[in-house]
Amino acid sequence: MVFSSGFRGASVGGMKATAGDRLLAHADGVEEKDRSGVITEVRGSYGEPPRVARSGDGRSGPVFPGPDAVDVPT
């Protein structure tokens, strides 16, 4: 939903997310912008995906971060 086109597949570099962390995803192409959001819920075991994130425009939805994403602990 929020990051559906940019976050694909697996865990983010082995990092274990917690609610309140920021989630950053680099753009897939030159015409796209990097995306960011705040993790509001972690549904996977031990901080793994799926996660629920809220984007800057207020939309919220499930996220499965891929290799282009980075968790930024708070």
Query: Which DSSP category does 48 fall into?
Result: P
What pLDDT does 14 receive? 57
Residue 55 sits in a domain of what CATH number? Answer: 2.30.30.440
- Which candidate, 27, 24, 2, places its Cα nearest to that of 69? 24
Q: Which domain holds residue 66?
A: 1-74
Q: Which residues on neighbouring strands pair with residue 70, listed in sequence order?
A: 24
pLDDT, tens digit, 9 for 90 and up, residues 33-56: 888 999 999 998 888 889 999 998
pLDDT, tens digit, 9 for 90 and up, residues 4-37: 434 333 344 556 889 999 999 888 888 888 889 9
Phi-psi region of 48 (alpha: psi -120 to 50; beta: other; left: phi over 0): beta
Strand 69-72 versus strand 60-63 pairing type: unpaired
Q: Do residues 7 and 63 lie in contact, with contact meaning Cβ atoms separated by under 8 Å? A: yes
Our count of domains for the chain comes to 1
